[in-house]
Structure 1
Amino acid sequence: MPPGKENGSAPPVRAGDHIGALPDDILHHLLSFLPVQSAVRTCVLARRWRHLWKFTTGLRIVGVLRQGPVQELRKFLDHLLILRERRVLDTVEIKFSRFWKDDVPYVNLWTRFAVQWGVRALTLHINHYEHLYLDGLPLVSQHLNTLDLHGVGLQLKSLDFSCCPTLKDLKMKFCEIHVRKILSCSLKRLSIINCQSKLNRHVRVSTPCLISLELDNFSGRTPFLDNMVLLETARVDLSNSCEDFCLNYDVLGAFCGDDDNGCENCVAYKDGSDECVLLGGISNATHMELISESDIFVFTRDLKQCPTFSKLKTLLLNEYWCMAPDLDPLACILKNSPVLEKLTLQLFYTSGDIIEMIGSYSSVERSSAISEHLKIVEVKFPEMDKTTRKVLKFLCTFNIRFRVE
């Protein structure tokens, strides 16, 4: 509390000064939405405002482009860290559109201070052509609840959050994740978007209490997902940046496999393990989206040990699952989804005009090879081509009939 204040109530103010009439605690919260420079400048408004900035519930460290974004903040923040009152912070945001190499230690220092001050939500966004590497991310906090990283490099043996028992949300976007493992027993929501790993191995993700997973456009070896028993929603999109692709696919029109006659990638993938890389970890999901490019073999390999999706109610698949001549991938996942209620097939590559057909059972007779709970089947496609006809014909064998929406 600022000097001379007995409680959080506001002193008498002039008529019309509505902001000045607010209690100190509310002003502390309001100032946390301003960049730290602006929050400190409020000290000149009046005697009462002189110390309010020292008690803000959050810090927004935002770099500007002119004269180098981080350099101009160094001295300012050195003084701020000394003069500011030590109290638990709700939020800390560190955002820069560029940085210099000698700025990196300062950003790391500010990040450590944020964790030491018990920040609950920490955001570090770097919008730069290079990644800013954290020099040993401080991973010990009894307060950290949300961690949002953008444009950050992580180069550790493991990203272990076992000393962050309240961490629930982890977001990583455009990050370099050069770690062997991501570990957390408290994490509930995990989002990994447009990230990459240059390690010639799978990043192992062990987050048993996760309820929401988004893995989109990961560059490098596909992350290995340990079993997530509480998972509710999962979205996995393996783009052409994935390195688990068959070099002979364009010639063979199929995967060459992981035997001795396989291509360099397929044989290198033969690790002596029968575990699923992706499907085993997300097999408890209730809602799932699985999207892949045609030449990526991870899902096909996983289907050889296909788990049972015992809780799965809604499923979205793209054309990857319908490209095999006999539709085995689609048939396999449907066979192992006993309580599925809604199936959506997106048979298109572009976002142009799309035709949508809705299907449902046309009689009381239901095939044992598909969920008896299935109520809706959506098939979305740009044109009635060979693949679309094959899919519709396949689904009709289960007494599913379609109408055009």
Structure 2
Amino acid sequence: MPPRLRSSKGEKMAEASKEGGINALSDELLQHILSLLSADEAVKTCVLSWRWRHLWKSTDVLRLAADKGRWKSSKRFKKFVNHLVLFRGSSPLREFDLEFSSCREKDEKGDDSGEDESDDDRGEDESDDDSDGDELDEHSDDGESDEDSNPFQCVMMWVMYALICQVQVLKIHNFNERYIEIDGGMPLVSQHLTKIELSGIVLKECFLNFSSCPALKELYFTKNCCFDSVKKIFSQSMQCLRIFYCQFSEYDRTLIYAPSLITLLLEGFWGRTPFLERMPSLVEASVRPHQDCDDWCSNTYTGNCEDEDCDGCHGMIDKIGNGSKCVLLGGLSEAKSLKLIAVPEIIIFGSDLRCCPMFSKLKSLLLNEWCLPSNFWALACILEHSPVLRKLTLQISKEAKFMMETEENDNPLWKPAAISEHLKVVKVHCKEVDEVVYKIGKWLSTLDIKAASEECGIDDLPDELLQQILSLLSADEAVKTCVLSRRWRHLWKSTDILRVAYSTDRWKRSEEFKKFVNHLVLLRGISPLREFDLRFNPFRYEDVVYDGDSDPYQCVMMWVMYAVMCRVQVLKIHNDHTDIEVYSGMPLVSPHLTKIELSGIELKNCFLNFSSCPALKELYFTKNCCFDSVYEILSQSIQCLHIFHCQFDEYCHGCHLSYEVSDDSEIVLLGGLTEAKNLKLIAGPEIFIFRSDLRWCPLFSKLKGLLLNEWCLASNFSALACILEHSPVLRKLTLKISKEAKSMMETEENDNPLWKPAAISEHLKVVKVHCKEVDDVVYKIGKWLSTLDIKVIIKQRKQSSKIFCLEEGNIC
């Protein structure tokens, strides 16, 4: 009998197993690996071999990220995704993850620039001659050139594609300032969808009708979702709903109907509190309105304000159309565990308690100080309507004392008619045991309940808060906390701020410091960093013990590169000793870096090319940075630049330049400042750069505020006249005149007439002159300005302002 022929798949697996490595893995495992990659990275694997050619099409997770670090224009991203779904077909999806992060403004508006750049940036065009990459490339050349390339435009189309592929988990995260608007005419219809996560989305009412998604169990709205025009959120199958830092309408309440809901979280929302329909299956709920919630009243804590002008109590346009007056608590009455947290001025809880429902299943309850005003009325009401309550926790802040003092009265404290027989102890969490805590304990004792005061210790705090506390410490102090307990052992590794400081007070030997930091970065790994702060505090060389090549400055760039690998956003290097030299062969490359602060650094040209840091917004050079060999500072994204007490090159000797900028313009400084709306130009009389530039004075077409000192008065006010003539919309001019001005004017005394501008701004009516004393210079300025029909307000230090009156020939 002839041997059975192997199937083509079997032959491929046999060949792969002989090759070893990743090719020895099964298709299912390779697809799982590909599902961890973003879509553009997964597509690129099609060029590896024939076996990999179509693997990316059958992965069950599709991750799409519109990141400016990956895509040079939003049109490329949009084109790539449209072609991707075309070639992928309707292969089933378990998860569809769409993320928009930090798009450039010009990309959001549909910038089509850069279409002729290399195919490598597209992500979808890399392939061999016979692969699908060629097909993608063919299609990428036609059409769409005149379309709006805003990637938000196609979001619902891509969502509909995911639904066609029977997606189970749908995620859309938008981290841009600009919202994605989900079209109200596009409801979701899916038998397979079980979970939805949304952030940064403007939601329409039709989209939030999930009656056609019978398998939907979890719904998450996080970080700035907007429900402003949503009247109702509807789902009969949903079991978990989380709304975290989102915006509701200021005038209308959104109704939430979810009869199968088990878990509810409403955290940090603003606008009007949503109306909750009855939830018979509810087990756990937590509600914490934002302090800017519109259910706010400064007149009362109980929600019965009679002031018709109060927007919090009477600012609603419409009311929910049913007989219930409970907005929130009626829907929470079936819960077994409740957390109700609010600032005292938020009235929604107190307002609902006037028609308080029965919490027939409630066993655990957490409240804060909002329940204490009006002589404990709200707390007494809840206890009376919670017949099976077992656990009550009160979180009392320092604000409670002030609140209780402001409504001090002689009325007796409220008492519930009856309380749960299971409630024996109440826990009170506080920072200190003050009069408020004592008053609570005394009141509870009248109900036969013990008050167990728990002053919050550091171990009661969550990991996130402990990490924030550790981030305030220097790295060596933070590391020492690992010995406190098992919980603290690795906490220091996950702090997002790393502060490294060298001083002889803390480190006796520089070698110890260098060794510590090197071990620190090795053990910490590449956990993300928000801020890296490296400081060299003042020390004397004789205090430092060197062992061979142990100069602590030696490793600075290596530590900076480590911070960049950890996706650092804020980089600070402060040196209060000798200059640290940053090597010219080490440019910074980071899509995450937003801010840099440097002091005491000797900077090289290559380091100051920030073209590979597209997110960089702020750049600060302070205290003795040296630009001696720097010819260019380059950044297309930077918005704020501060250079304070730093040193530039000395090629210029007085007025004779030995080095010239390659620009044709003769203007050094003022040419770059012509678009400014506010300018301060201060210099000693001997500094000639401003006067030199004014020989080719540009037009300051937007300048509205200007501050000058006495340098502009030389040569018979020629500089001041020139600036006024070239500032057509100037509104505010301030002159700071020191005592040096008088000697300067005397040394160049001549009989030539004072310069006058050919024309000045029609908006300039008054000029402020700041001086120590009113001398001949100030009088001369006032007289000159009066010829231009401009009044002068003279402000002497530590004295009230005075107005120069030409008619009377003096200052009045």
TM-score range, shorter chain: 0.7 to 0.9
Name the counterpart of 2:231.
Answer: 180
Displacement of 1:241 after TM fit?
A: 2.0
CA distance in 2, matches of 1:166, 1:256: 39
Aligned residue for 1:10, secondary structure, equals helix
Name the counterpart of 1:208.
Answer: 259
2:356 to 277, 285, 306: 306
Structure 1 residues 321 and 247: CA distance shift in structure 2, 3 A = closer
User: Which deviates more, 41-50 or 212-221?
Assistant: 41-50
Name the counterpart of 1:75.
Answer: 79
Alignment check: 8 A CA contact 1:115 1:138 kept: no
Give, as a single letter, the amino acid of the residue that structure 2 aligns with 1:128. N
Alignment check: 8 A CA contact 1:217 1:241 kept: no
CA distance in 2, matches of 1:78, 1:111: 12
Name the counterpart of 1:130.
Answer: 178
Name the counterpart of 1:330.
Answer: 379
CA distance in 2, matches of 1:158, 1:36: 26
CA distance in 1, matches of 2:353, 2:302: 13
Give, as a single letter, the amino acid of the residue that structure 2 aligns with 1:371. S
CA distance in 2, matches of 1:19, 1:349: 60
Name the counterpart of 2:338.
Answer: 288
1:26 to 29, 34, 57: 29
Do residues 154 (structure 1) and 203 (structure 2) align? yes
CA distance in 1, matches of 2:154, 2:204: 18
Name the counterpart of 2:700.
Answer: none
1:384 to 430, 433, 438: 433
Displacement of 1:7 after TM fit?
A: 7.9
User: Which deviates more, 46-55 or 131-140?
Assistant: 131-140
Displacement of 1:153 after TM fit?
A: 1.0
Displacement of 1:311 after TM fit?
A: 1.0
Displacement of 1:404 after TM fit?
A: 5.1
Alignment check: 8 A CA contact 1:104 1:132 kept: yes
Deviation track 1:239-285 (CA, whole Å, cap 9, x = no partner) reads 21210111434xxxx45725576734323459495421010101111
CA distance in 2, matches of 1:8, 1:375: 72
CA distance in 1, matches of 2:8, 2:77: 31
Displacement of 1:85 after TM fit?
A: 3.4
Name the counterpart of 1:353.
Answer: none
CA distance in 2, matches of 1:340, 1:79: 58
Displacement of 1:17 after TM fit?
A: 2.6
Give, as a single letter, the amino acid of the residue that structure 2 aligns with 1:297. I
Displacement of 1:199 after TM fit?
A: 4.8
CA distance in 1, matches of 2:237, 2:12: 38
Q: Which has the higher contact order (CA 8 A, sep 6+)?
A: 1
User: Which deviates more, 370-379 or 161-170?
Assistant: 370-379
Deviation track 1:95-122 (CA, whole Å, cap 9, x = no partner) reads 1113414221122321221122111001
Structure 1 residues 9 and 184: CA distance shift in structure 2, 3 A = farther
Do residues 117 (structure 1) and 168 (structure 2) align? no
Q: In proportion to residue count, which structure has more helix?
A: 2
Deviation track 1:187-221 (CA, whole Å, cap 9, x = no partner) reads 00000010002351100000000000000111101
Instruction: Note the residue ranges of structure 2 that are not aligned, 5 or more in a row.
Output: 1-6, 110-149, 400-415, 455-812
- What are the residue-to-residue correspondences of 1:220-369 with 2, within 5 Å? 220-249=271-300, 254-255=301-302, 257-259=304-306, 263-268=310-315, 271=319, 273-322=323-372, 324-348=373-397, 369=418
Give, as a single letter, the amino acid of the residue that structure 2 aligns with 1:232. V
Q: Alignment identity in percent?
A: 40
User: Which deviates more, 183-192 or 76-85?
Assistant: 76-85
Do residues 84 (structure 1) and 88 (structure 2) align? yes
Name the counterpart of 1:192.
Answer: 243
1:44 to 35, 43, 47: 47
Give, as a single letter, the amino acid of the residue that structure 1 aligns with 2:59. T
Do residues 35 (structure 1) and 38 (structure 2) align? yes
CA distance in 2, matches of 1:37, 1:125: 18
Aligned residue for 2:287, secondary structure, equals strand
CA distance in 2, matches of 1:75, 1:380: 56
Name the counterpart of 2:422.
Answer: 373
Do residues 10 (structure 1) and 13 (structure 2) align? yes
Structure 1 residue runs of 4+, over 6 Å off?
Answer: none
Deviation track 1:136-179 (CA, whole Å, cap 9, x = no partner) reads 44411111110000111113356200001101000001201130
CA distance in 2, matches of 1:219, 1:230: 26
Aligned residue for 2:76, secondary structure, equals helix
CA distance in 1, matches of 2:207, 2:55: 40
Give, as a single letter, the amino acid of the residue that structure 2 aligns with 1:63. A
Alignment check: 8 A CA contact 1:310 1:339 kept: yes
Q: How many residue pairs align between the two structures? A: 381
Alignment check: 8 A CA contact 1:248 1:255 kept: no
Please give the TM-score of this superposition, normalised by the length of structure 1. 0.87
Displacement of 1:314 after TM fit?
A: 0.8
Structure 1 residues 349 and 35: CA distance shift in structure 2, 3 A = farther
Give, as a single letter, the amino acid of the residue that structure 2 aligns with 1:291. I
Aligned residue for 2:41, secondary structure, equals helix
Between structure 1 and structure 2, the one with the greater Rg is 2
CA distance in 2, matches of 1:112, 1:80: 14
Deviation track 1:305-361 (CA, whole Å, cap 9, x = no partner) reads 111111111110011112x142010011011111111111000169xxxxxxxxxxx
